[in-house]
């Protein structure tokens, strides 16, 4: 029995065994760390579901495509008289397209979740010029003029807020909902019959479009020259899609953005037959971003959880070795749970008061909790202050890294290098083969070594 007791005492004082125990505890903490990440993803998914619910009732992300002129014709193979006539659809894009719009945003709430909705008022105008059908090898007698139509694609028809009337060469055209998706102008929109005037090949058009949407507003550059100007009081826009604005002005009072897109800037021509091109790939526009995404930052911070636990355990291990203090594995676990609690506090508070303030409150609370608990373990004020200072440095370092986008990896790598260098410096005089003794060393020597 005495031999077993001596073996247990010897094992408990072995530095190698202690390091193995700490390594096992760190691996064990991967389980609650994964649960925290799952919780963040779950809250983010719930938020997106609420955002989609609000958007579906007001109007989702909007993409305006067109107008596009569709002229059907009959194609007959002269070499095969038995072949039945095949109907083809000629797509004709406008020579010029101009859109001037004003976007009025508002934040809509559902509980703690919010979404940026907007009301847009756009003036759309331009000019069509009919092509030379002989060059296209389309006999005029085969053209089905009575089936020609003008199409405008709107990604979410529920957002339309006005009775649209198209001014077509000083003639007013009424529109009807619905377009055929096989034309490649989107899955929804409105259309009108194309009135043909003999001897006229050039047509001017303009109409007003009042459109509700959420998140972003995009356009497809169907004009041979496309000029778009959008203004809004929203001061945190993000320009997205295939083209960035040629001119933009962003201030606290809002933004003004201008695009000028030429035919050669896109990957589809002015005319083509049937659904040959995917013109949505050239769409562009503006996102009305919320200034803070607390879930993304919470997820980024949670990725550092294991590093925080490992570094804190290393500090405890150094105190245990250099100051001849025996720290029980349960105390390591309690400290790690305190570190993990930081992320649940951060997530829950950030949903109500914003990420930065939530990070400050959570960090101060956890640093204070672990520092107070360390005092009961170390029994020495100077060692406790060292622990509190080290934790404060880690949380401040993480906060700075989270605020950076372009330099986050660089700063994080440099910071970890410095931390590793400090650990290697402090451990240079440790005899890893010597047991952890129960004898107390002088505090001054321990603190000097640290």
CATH topology of domain 60-290: Immunoglobulin-like (2.60.40)
Distance CA 151, CA 257 (A): 26
- The parts of the chain modelled with pLDDT lower than 70 are 1-14, 76-84, 198, 291-292, 405-406, 430-450
User: Could you tell me which of 399, 184, 197, 337 has the C-alpha nearest to residue 275?
Assistant: 184
Domain ranges of the chain: 2-44+295-449, 60-290
Instruction: Identify whether 67 is preceded by a cis peptide bond (ω within 30 of 0).
Output: yes
- Predicted local distance difference test score (pLDDT) of residue 49: 80
Alpha helices in 13-171 (DSSP H): 15-28, 30-58
Q: Answer whether 221's CB lies under 8 Å from 126's CB.
A: no
State the pLDDT at residue 220.
Answer: 94
Q: Are 220 and 64 in contact (CB under 8 A)?
A: yes
pLDDT at 449: 43
- The alpha carbon of 1 is separated from its chain's Cα centroid by a whole number of angstroms, namely 63
100-110 tens-digit pLDDT? 999 999 888 77
User: What b/e string do you get for 379-413 counting C-beta neighbours within 10 Å, with b at 16 or more?
Assistant: ebeebbebbbebbeebbebbbebbeeeeeeeeebe
Residue 235, token pair as written in the block: 């001061």
Who's near 260: CB < 8 A, 6+ residues apart?
225, 226, 227, 246
Supply the pTM of this predicted model: 0.70
Task: Kindly write down the DSSP assignment for every residue of 109-174, as one continuous string.
Answer: EETTEEEEEEEEEEEEEEEEE---TTTTT--GGGB-GGG-EEEEEES-GGGB-S--EEEETTEEEE
């Amino acid at each position: 029995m005495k031999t077993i007791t001596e073996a247990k005492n010897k094992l408990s004082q072995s530095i190698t065994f202690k390091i193995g125990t700490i390594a096992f505890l760190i691996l064990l903490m991967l389980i609650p760390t994964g649960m925290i990440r799952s919780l963040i993803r779950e809250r983010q998914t719930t938020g997106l579901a609420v955002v989609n619910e609000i958007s579906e009732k007001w109007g989702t992300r909007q993409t305006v495509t067109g107008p596009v002129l569709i002229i059907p014709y009959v194609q007959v193979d002269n070499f095969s008289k038995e072949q039945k006539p095949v109907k083809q659809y000629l797509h004709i894009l406008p020579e010029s397209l101009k859109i001037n719009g004003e976007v009025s945003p508002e934040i809509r709430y559902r509980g703690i979740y919010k979404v940026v909705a907007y009301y847009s008022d756009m003036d759309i105008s331009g000019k069509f010029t009919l092509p030379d059908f002989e060059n296209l090898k389309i006999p005029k007698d085969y053209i089905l003029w009575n089936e020609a139509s003008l199409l405008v694609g709107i990604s979410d028809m529920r957002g339309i807020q006005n009775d649209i009337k198209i001014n077509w060469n000083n003639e007013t055209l009424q529109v009807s909902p619905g377009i055929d998706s096989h034309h490649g102008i989107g899955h929804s929109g409105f259309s009108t019959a194309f009135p043909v005037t003999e001897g006229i090949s050039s047509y001017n058009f303009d109409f007003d479009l009042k459109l509700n949407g959420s998140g972003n507003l995009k356009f497809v550059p169907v004009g041979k020259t496309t000029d778009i100007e959008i203004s809004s009081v929203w001061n945190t826009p993000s320009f997205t899609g295939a083209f960035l604005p040629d001119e933009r002005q962003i201030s606290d009072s809002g933004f003004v953005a201008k695009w000028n897109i030429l035919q050669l800037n896109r990957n589809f021509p002015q005319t083509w037959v049937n659904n040959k091109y995917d013109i949505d790939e050239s769409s562009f526009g503006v996102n009305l971003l919320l200034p803070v995404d607390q879930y993304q930052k919470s997820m980024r911070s949670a990725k550092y959880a294991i590093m925080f636990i490992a570094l804190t355990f290393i500090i405890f291990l150094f105190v245990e070795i250099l100051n001849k203090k025996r720290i029980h594995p349960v105390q390591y676990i309690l400290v790690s749970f305190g570190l993990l609690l930081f992320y649940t506090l951060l997530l829950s508070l950030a949903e109500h008061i914003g990420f930065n303030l939530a990070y400050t409150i959570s960090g101060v609370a956890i640093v204070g909790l672990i520092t107070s608990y360390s005092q009961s373990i170390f029994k020495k004020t100077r060692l406790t202050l060292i622990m509190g200072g080290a934790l404060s440095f880690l949380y401040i370092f993480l906060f700075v890294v989270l605020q950076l986008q372009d330099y986050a990896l660089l700063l994080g790598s440099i910071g970890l290098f410095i931390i590793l260098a400090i650990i290697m410096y402090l451990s240079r005089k440790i005899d890893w083969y010597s047991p952890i003794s129960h004898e107390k060393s002088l505090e001054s020597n321990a603190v000097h070594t640290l």
